[in-house]
Amino acid sequence: MGFLGVDVGSISTKAAVIDDAGEVVARSYLWTEGDPLAAVKRVLAEVEPQAKAAGEDVVAVGVTGSARELIGAALEAQVVKNEITAHAMGTLSRHPGVHTIFEIGGQDSKIIIVRDGVPVDYAMNTLCAAGTGSFLSAQARRLNVPVEDFGDYALRSTKPTKIAGRCTVFAESDLVHKAQIGHPQEDLIAGLCQAIVMNYLNNVGKGKEVRAPIVFQGGVSKNVGVVKAFADITGEEIVVDDDGHLMGAIGVALLAREGEGRAEFEFSAHDVEFDTRGFECGGCPNDCEVVTLSRAGEFLDGWGNRCERGIERAKADISDA
Amino acid sequence: MATSSADYRLSFPHMGNYHIPMCTLSSMLDCEIMVAPKMTRRTLELGVRHSPEFVCIPFKYNLGNFIETLDAGANLLVQAGGGCRFGFYAEVQEEILRSLGYEFDMIRLVGDFDLRKYYQDLRRINPKLSFRGALHHYRLAARQTRALDAVEDFMRKRSGFEAEPGSFDAVHERFLRELGPTPSIAEAAALEERTLAELAALPVEMPVDALRVGVVGELYVLMEPFSNFFVERELAKRGVEVHRFVTVSDMLSHAGPKGSAHLRELIEDAGPYLKYHVGAHGTESVAMTRRLMQAGFDGVLHLKPFGCMPEVNAMAALQRLSRDNTFPVLFFSYDGQTSETGVRTRLEAFCDMLRMRKRAGVSAATNMEVPA
């Protein structure tokens, strides 16, 4: 039996199929490109042949990530779970002795403190996306260096430039200024990696006891420059799992395996057109922004309403259309 | 402008369900009382549009309430103040509203808690008001407030486990309808007793190891569920017993000269984490969190408006307390841009984590405290 986990993040969409023993038999990692429904179709198309080749029929689906409600409804998932819990479960299955999990994704970053195999504390960045993947991508574009090569540039530097990492706006103006006065590109990039790490440890990691072993994951963990900066600043070895970017998908697949819900999952049945609609309720001055998901004019689910009226009006809105 | 009390239409900002005792209190002025329109996103939009960008979020909600209620015809506003920036709310809001062209009168209950001074202010509106009459209204309103707080305290602790969905809300709603008209202290007390008995009789499915979470922080975001995205309800829905200590009754019980002894007690209970009072409810946040940790609670939720100085002070101590004892404290900071989804994601993860800790038998290491 196979268990499908899908992690639909703001920047990338990940899918993994695990078997009864928790081994990953199928994996996929693609850009979300602002269209989570389309991205999920593409990752499903990639994992389906791999799962079939391994002889695993999917019997339960788990969904996590910021688009989990939408995708959970579209895939009729048995488990819909927040990404913090999913990441903790995924990492613990691979690294049972871990004490600290660093995780930096496209729009958010978090720290999970684990003791004796149990998550005992966590924190997540608040409003600001300073020090996350999207900031790195934006700076890579400014410096005209592919973000995939960022790490290699950083490793070539021997004297990282000091960049103020507190806020992306400050960091960017600092970066521009330092570039204009002649700092070489590799030093700027290494400085940026250090700034991200300092920002992370001072904000997300503030007040937490960072104890080794440390596992670093999320899209930014693929950047060797940031990994080195973490190692330099914490003075500890930083473990990066080859499947580090898939931990959310693996974790939520494990949760689906633990759960009781079972239903045969037909990949082909989900290759249909879904329709999402945004709609301002207007039932009261709160004017909830309701989003609905439908398939061939049939209402499936809706979000964002504070009361029942929102869903009723949204259903009427669909049948009018 | 109104010249006799009969021409006044009095209104005040919302905070939870406290508009009910506020109506009782205001009725001493013998004028029409208007409850501000129910809090919606529009209230916040109006408040944000006309407030200084960097002011804390309760100011913006209050201003939004004022604008909506003035538009509905109010001409006498009541605002309290004290403790922190809250002390300047009334004055700044009055200026803003006047510059928007509104004509109204304002009662400012700012500064030290002093019934006699308030009485003099109120005589300006209702010259026929006797001190005894004012005291009667105050006492009745205070008793209604106590009833309200007692009932809602019970709701927080039990409603998450209701066997029949909606059964607690039904009793609560009826209680709210009946509370305002209670004519005497004895009847307010009887209503409280009756409602608590009714709630206690509702069937619940409560596991023996239910999670217990305390909610601490700044008073407005604690007491106005709209402003904190209904976190207490969200916690309860996830099968959590929610405990909160900051209520208007609690504040009234420490108002006036008794306050300083209460503060000394709080600083003592904060243990090694605070030496001095850090303003408003900050000291209480630290002391309460430590008490809850020692009482074996599973975790604490700390709520504050973005930029709230007293609670920012408390956070440093809370982070240290949390690390020294591996005691989970989750921090939420609210302003006009905070995303409701973000709050829900973090809350869900927090409950998951507390449950995993509990299953594995992890508890706060209270013996590991740092020396003072």
Interface touch A124/B37, C-beta < 8 Å:
no
User: What's the domain count of chain B?
Assistant: 3
Supply the range of the domain harboring residue B279. 209-372
Total domain count, chain A: 3
CATH at B327: 3.40.50.11900
Same domain, B61 and B75: yes
Q: What is the pLDDT of residues A107-157, one digit of tens each?
A: 888 999 999 899 999 998 865 666 788 888 888 888 888 888 888 999 999
8-state DSSP, B37: P
Ordered strands of the A289-295 beta sheet? A274-280, A289-295, A298-303
> Is the same domain home to A20 and A68?
yes
**Under an 8 Å CB criterion, which residues of A touch B?**
66, 81-85, 88, 113, 115-124, 126-127, 206-209, 284-288
Shared domain for A123 and A199, answered yes or no, is yes
Last residue of a domain, one of B129, B144, B179: B129
Residues B93 and B42 in one domain: yes
Predicted local distance difference test score (pLDDT) of residue B372: 37
Question: Can you give the pLDDT at residue A130?
Answer: 66
What percent of chain A shows pLDDT beyond 70?
A: 98
Domain boundary among B100, B129, B158: B129
Q: What is the pLDDT of residues A285-311, one digit of tens each?
A: 888 888 888 887 788 888 888 888 888
Asked if B71 is an interface residue toward chain A (Cβ–Cβ < 8 A), one would say no
Q: Are residues B119 and B46 in the same domain?
A: yes
- Which of B206, B230, B260 represents a domain boundary (last residue)? B206
In this prediction, residue B368 carries a pLDDT of: 43
Q: What is the pLDDT of residues A197-252, one digit of tens each?
A: 988 998 888 888 999 999 999 888 989 999 999 999 999 999 999 998 899 999 99
* ipTM for the assembly: 0.83
Q: Which of B14, B38, B39, B40 to mutate to test the interface with A (most CBs of A within 10 A)?
A: B40
CA distance A143 to chain B (A): 31
Say whether both B356 and B240 belong to one domain.
Answer: yes
CB A91 within 8 A of CB A295: no
Report the relative pairing of strands B32-33 and A238-239 from DSSP bridges: unpaired
Q: What pLDDT, on a 0 to 100 scale, did the predictor assign at position A297?
A: 79
Instruction: For residues A149 and A209, state if they share a domain.
Output: yes
**Dihedral sign, CA of B248, B252, B254, B257?**
positive
**pLDDT recorded at residue B367:** 42
Per-residue model confidence (pLDDT) at position A321: 67
Considering only CA atoms, which of A246, A29, A219, A229 is closest in space to residue A107?
A219
CA-nearest residue to B331 within chain A is A123
Contacts of B353 in chain A (CB under 8 A): 84-85, 88, 119-122
Whole-angstrom distance between the N-terminal and C-terminal Cα of chain B?
Answer: 59
The CATH number of the domain holding residue A13 is: 3.30.420.40
CB-nearest to B357 from A82, A120, A209 is A120
Nearest to B159 by CA among B119, B100, B203, B217: B203
Section A166-188 average pLDDT: 85
The pTM is what? 0.89
Considering the domain architecture, whether residues A55 and A85 belong to the same structural domain is answered as yes
Question: Residues of A with CB below 8 A from B352's CB?
Answer: 81-82, 84-85
Same domain, A30 and A48: yes
Nearest to A127 among B338, B349, B350 (CB): B338
| Average pLDDT per consecutive 10 residues, chain B (372 residues; last block may be shorter) | 78 97 94 94 93 94 98 96 89 97 92 78 90 93 97 97 95 97 96 98 92 97 95 94 96 86 94 92 96 96 94 95 93 84 90 92 59 38
Q: How far apart are the first and last CA of chain A?
A: 41
Contact yes or no for A132/A107 (Cβ under 8 A)? yes
A296: containing domain: 274-320
Contact of B356 with chain A, judged by CB distance below 8 Å, is answered with yes
CATH code assigned at B111: 3.40.50
Q: Decide: B79 and B106 in contact? Cβ < 8 Å.
A: yes
